[in-house]
């Protein structure tokens, strides 16, 4: 699912075939995610977050569902902690934050290491020395916010315009593919390996107008560890 439609991108100024416009939309979407450090559609992710002294784990994305919580070094297919050892809150609910709340004060005599005589969940976490946890689940917004959709269309047009070669560039590099208006319409991923899923924050999308539209969705201070 794209953050904006082909029609919206064309209305914003993107030119070319539907496939070419879609490529510019994808490029804009990736730039928006790097800038905001958010995803704006339901997405399966693996994230890592710090554990506060009171057992609060602030999640770096809007959480929808959590399927597993575990120490960072555990394999992703590990079942993780039982759901009785934590509760999840989401900013989808007004007044809540995206977080996992570890049950420091509780215990479960059926879980090895978390028994009442072993210090319960607090004792288990202390023995693990886990300053961070890995959380697997579904993150993102239910639907793309209006301003994000507008930003995506505008940024797609901006990126295409920025990539348009001059006449001199086109003459020197006959491999450039340009349309009738001089826009470079070839978008190729030169990497041989698939994306690792790591998204590094960027200081700007490259467009001050788009940056302004996205200012309310910035999520600084967290890193995306992996995507599924």
pLDDT per residue as tens digits for the range 32-48: 999 998 899 999 999 99
Distance of CA 47 to the CA centre of its chain: 9
Mean per-residue pLDDT for 109-115? 77
What backbone torsions phi and psi does residue 179 show, to the nearest 5 degrees? -90, -175
Pair 13, 39: CB distance under 8 Å = no
The per-residue pLDDT of the chain, averaged, comes to: 79
pTM for the structure as a whole: 0.68
CA distance 41 to 219: 15
Among candidate residues 81, 163, 84, 157, the one with its CA nearest the CA of residue 124: 81
Which sequence spans correspond to the domains of the chain? Answer: 6-40+143-219, 44-139
Tell me the Cα Rg of the chain. Answer: 22
Does residue 216 register a pLDDT over 70? yes
Beta bridge partners of 132: 50
CA distance 16 to 27: 15
Q: 3-state class of 101 per DSSP?
A: strand
pLDDT per residue as tens digits for the range 218-227: 875 444 434 4
Q: How far apart are the first and last CA of the chain?
A: 16
pLDDT per residue as tens digits for the range 6-19: 999 999 999 999 99
CA distance 175 to 87: 56
């Amino acid at each position: 699912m794209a953050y904006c439609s082909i029609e919206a991108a064309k209305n914003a100024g993107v030119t070319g075939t539907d496939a070419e416009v879609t490529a510019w939309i994808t490029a804009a979407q990736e730039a928006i995610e790097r800038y905001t450090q958010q995803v704006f559609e339901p997405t399966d992710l693996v994230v890592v977050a710090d554990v506060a002294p009171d057992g609060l784990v602030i999640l770096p994305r809007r959480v929808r569902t959590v399927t597993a919580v575990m120490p960072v070094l555990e394999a992703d297919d590990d079942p993780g902690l039982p759901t009785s050892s934590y509760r999840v809150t989401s900013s989808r609910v007004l007044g809540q934050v995206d977080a996992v709340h570890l049950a420091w004060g509780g215990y479960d005599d059926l879980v090895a290491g978390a028994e009442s005589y072993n210090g319960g969940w607090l004792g288990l976490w202390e023995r693990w020395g886990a300053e961070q946890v890995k959380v697997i689940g579904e993150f993102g917004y239910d639907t793309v916010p209006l301003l994000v959709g507008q930003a995506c269309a505008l940024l797609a047009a901006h990126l295409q315009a920025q990539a348009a070669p001059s006449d001199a560039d086109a003459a020197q590099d006959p491999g450039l593919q340009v349309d009738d208006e001089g826009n470079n319409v070839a978008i190729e991923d030169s990497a041989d390996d698939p994306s690792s899923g790591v998204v590094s924050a960027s200081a700007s999308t490259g467009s001050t107008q788009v940056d302004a539209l996205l200012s309310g969705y910035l999520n600084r201070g967290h890193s995306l560890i992996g995507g599924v």
